[in-house]
Amino acid sequence: MFDRDGDGKISALEFRAVMSSLVEKLSDSDFDRMVREVDLDRDGSISFEEFSKMLLPANKRSLVCGVQIGDKVQGETRRMRYAGLKDLEGPLVSDYKGMSNLKEIFESNVRASPTKQFLGTRVKDGEYTWKSFQEIYELSKSFANWLYQNDMCQEVTSDEGTMRFLGIFSKNREEWAITDFASIISGITTVPLYDTLGQDAIEYILDQT
């Protein structure tokens, strides 16, 4: 809500815009004082850590959502766990209400709330158009069938068994989510390709697949 340009920090201008809508008659001196109290490193913007310290009581530590655990392995990303877990190194839950994978959780939600708004797309005037759980499920099933009929998922066999992969190179949009759900319900592993990887990296990955 505060970080309008999505750069990971709250500029003084963004902070003023939001605070002015929350607090009536905010004077320039009041605003300058608020910024000085929050901007601890005096760089003219408010980082996530500074923002969390502002929200938490003075006697509490800054907000920590996740921590990395285990040793760094070459070529792999270190594991991350929710910082609130009592046993960070221990096993995670084996199931949730009898469900052990995303397919079961998704289908459970479809059965429980078929007509509930689930996935929205913003249209030009800023409003959202919504599709229900059932609509997204039907679209996902149809797309999964199309993927298999047209042999769009590369099959890879290793010591761990045979898996199918599907690369997705797209902006964050409804079609991305439907493709991901189609993969979830049909046992396909998705490989997101982000433009931040760079054009050369993306072309190399596509050439390999």
What share of the chain has pLDDT > 70, as a percent? 86
pLDDT-based confidence at residue 139 (cuts at 50, 70, 90): very high
Q: Which long-range contacts (CB under 8 A, 24 or more apart) does 190-195 make?
A: 190/165, 190/166, 191/165, 191/166, 191/167, 192/167, 192/168, 193/167, 193/168, 193/169, 195/169
In this structure, of 17-31, 42-56, 82-96, 126-140, the range with the lowest mean pLDDT score is: 17-31
Task: Output the CA–CA distances (angstroms, integers) from residue 165 to 154, 176, 177, 183, in the order listed.
Answer: 5, 15, 16, 9
Type and span of the H or E element at 45: strand 45-46
**SS3 of 56, please?**
coil
> DSSP string covering 193-208, please?
--GGG-HHHHHHHHHH
CATH class, 10-55 region: mainly alpha
pLDDT-based confidence at residue 113 (cuts at 50, 70, 90): very high
Pairing of strands 188-192, 161-168: parallel
pTM of the model: 0.55
> DSSP string covering 101-143, please?
SHHHHHHHHHHH-TTSEEEEEE-TTS-EEEEEHHHHHHHHHHH
Kindly state the average pLDDT of the residues 46-57.
74
Contact status, residue 3 vs residue 14, Cβ threshold 8 Å: yes
* pLDDT, mean over the chain: 82
Q: What is the pLDDT of residue 18?
A: 72
CATH architecture of 102-208: 3-Layer(aba) Sandwich (3.40)
List, for residues 171-188, the tens digit of each pLDDT value. Answer: 788 999 999 999 999 999
Q: What are phi and psi of 100, to 5 degrees?
A: -120, 0
User: What are residue 132's DSSP bridge partners?
Assistant: 117
Write down the domain spans for the chain: 10-55, 102-208
pLDDT-based confidence at residue 158 (cuts at 50, 70, 90): confident
Neighbours of 179 (CB within 10 A): 21
CA distance 10 to 21: 16
Q: Is the per-residue pLDDT at 17 higher than 70?
A: yes
Q: What is the pLDDT of residue 29?
A: 80
Which candidate, 49, 36, 40, places its Cα nearest to that of 9? 49
Q: Could you tell me which residues come within 8 angstroms of residue 114 by beta carbon, excluding any fewer than 6 positions away?
A: 132, 133, 134
Which residue has 């002015």 as its token pair? 20
In this structure, of 55-59, 103-107, 117-121, the range with the lowest mean pLDDT score is: 55-59
